Amino acid sequence: MKHILIIDDDTELCELLQEYLASEKFATSTAHGGATGLEMVRNGSFDLVILDVMLPEMNGLEVLKSIRSFSKIPVIMLTAKGDEVDRVLGLELGSDDYLPKPFSPRELVARIKAVFRRLGNAEEHGVRPESLKIEIADIFIESATRTATRNGSDLALTEVEFSILENLMRAAGTVVERQELALKVLGRRLSYDDRSLDVHMSNLRRKLGTIADDKDRIKTIRGVGYLYVRS
């Protein structure tokens, strides 16, 4: 059973989410302060964290930054409705997804399942580890261990960044449609104002660096999608 940690100071919301997630066969624990939640992540064994931005002790963005210094555990941020700055900052700091409050528990469960589906995709399809190694120029990825390197140095990608890179490198030289990529790495289609994929893509490009003549490894094909350059 997957174990989820909810870090939110709204005790009523935590109780509601615990009840709903239990009905979906998830085990849950809660923390009502940022520092407390961070300590639980550091010392506990959880499969995913639901993290509110507005927290006592230390805010959710600070908690996320600290988590990413020692763990790649999936994190879904809860943000205030309309607060795009927090959403973008959360994604830039390494959150896997976000949900603006108020939200329906059903939508949260859909996001959680999408994260677990992405992480378990290779295992579910019985793909052999040796078939999941891809090398293009100085970039090497291994899906079995979820690692990516450039010239042998770890790129320290988040789970979403790795999934984007894996999908694009598998299709290197051909265009991957934007909505198709969103479905594969986020588990949903993008609405017109959803910048999640854009922020993850920006972070990934920064970590990958450029190729000859300062060109991007990933080209944006306007109105269509993205293409990983075969160099």
Q: What angle do CA 26, 31, 34 make, to 5 degrees?
A: 130
pLDDT digits (tens, 9 = 90+) for 168-224: 999 999 999 999 999 999 988 888 888 899 999 999 999 999 987 788 999 999 989
| CATH code of 174's domain | 1.10.10.10
Q: 85 falls in which pLDDT band (50, 70, 90)?
A: confident
187: exposed, middle or buried (Cβ count in 10 Å: 0-12, 13-18, 19+)? middle
Residue at which a domain ends, from 70, 92, 119: 119
Q: Domain range holding 206?
A: 126-228
Neighbours of 98 (CB within 10 A): 23
Beta pairing class for 218-221 and 215-216: unpaired
pLDDT digits (tens, 9 = 90+) for 173-187: 999 999 999 999 998
**Same domain as 145, residue 58:** no
H-helix segments, the chain? 11-23, 34-43, 60-67, 84-93, 105-119, 121-124, 159-170, 178-185, 196-208
Domains of the chain: total = 2
Residue 82 is predicted with a pLDDT of 66
**Same domain as 131, residue 115:** no
Rg from Cα positions in the chain: 18
Q: Which residue has the tokens 């051909």?
A: 174
Q: What is the pTM of this model?
A: 0.82
| CATH code of 28's domain | 3.40.50.2300
**Same domain as 109, residue 10:** yes
Q: Which residue has the tokens 């020692």?
A: 70
| Cis check: omega of the bond before 105, within 30 degrees of 0 | no
Residue at which a domain ends, from 119, 139, 165: 119
Q: Which of 169, 191, 174 is nearest to 182 (CA)?
A: 191
> In which region does residue 150 sit, left (phi positive, over 0), alpha (psi from -120 to 50) or beta (all else)?
beta
Distance CA 122, CA 147 (A): 14
**Same domain as 152, residue 222:** yes
